Amino acid sequence: MQLALATQPNAQHRAEVQKIMVHTQARQQGIGQALMTAIEEVAHMVGRTLLVLDTRRGDVSEQLYLKQSYTCGGIIPHYARSSTGVLDDTAIFYKVL
């Protein structure tokens, strides 16, 4: 997982959660929740109070983010091209720590 810290003077309270990945065979074991909890702790330690992230609309990760009290702020259509060439929508989530 990655936490990208915003560096602009008016954005130093926020960070973007990136690249949270759990192998399909290791899902439903609490690993994703543990990763999200850890990244939130790191964000808090470095003074970030707002986290944002995006995920493909309809992906199983949406349920993880909702369970972790993230709010869906909106959907952007045709945001990312899949490996099959299809343009997928993305869901934008945020959480105030």
Which DSSP string do the residues of the chain spell out, in sequence order? -EEEE--SGGGTTEEEEE-----GGGTTSSHHHHHHHHHHHHHHHTT--EEEEEEETT-THHHHHHHTT-EEEEEEEEEEE-TTS-EEEEEEEEEE-
Mean pLDDT estimate for the chain? 92
Are residues 43 and 51 in contact, defined by beta-carbon separation less than 8 angstroms?
Answer: yes
Distances 96 to 4, 5, 34, 58 between C-alpha atoms, Å: 16, 15, 18, 23
The CATH number that applies at residue 51 is: 3.40.630.30
What local confidence, expressed as pLDDT, does residue 1 receive? 86
Give the number of domains in the chain: 1
Residues 48, 11 contacting (CB under 8 angstroms): no
The list of the chain residues with pLDDT below 50 reads none
Nearest by Cα to 71 from 91, 95, 53, 54: 95
Digit-coded pLDDT (tens) for 21-46: 777 776 788 888 889 999 999 999 99
* Residue 12, domain extent: 2-96
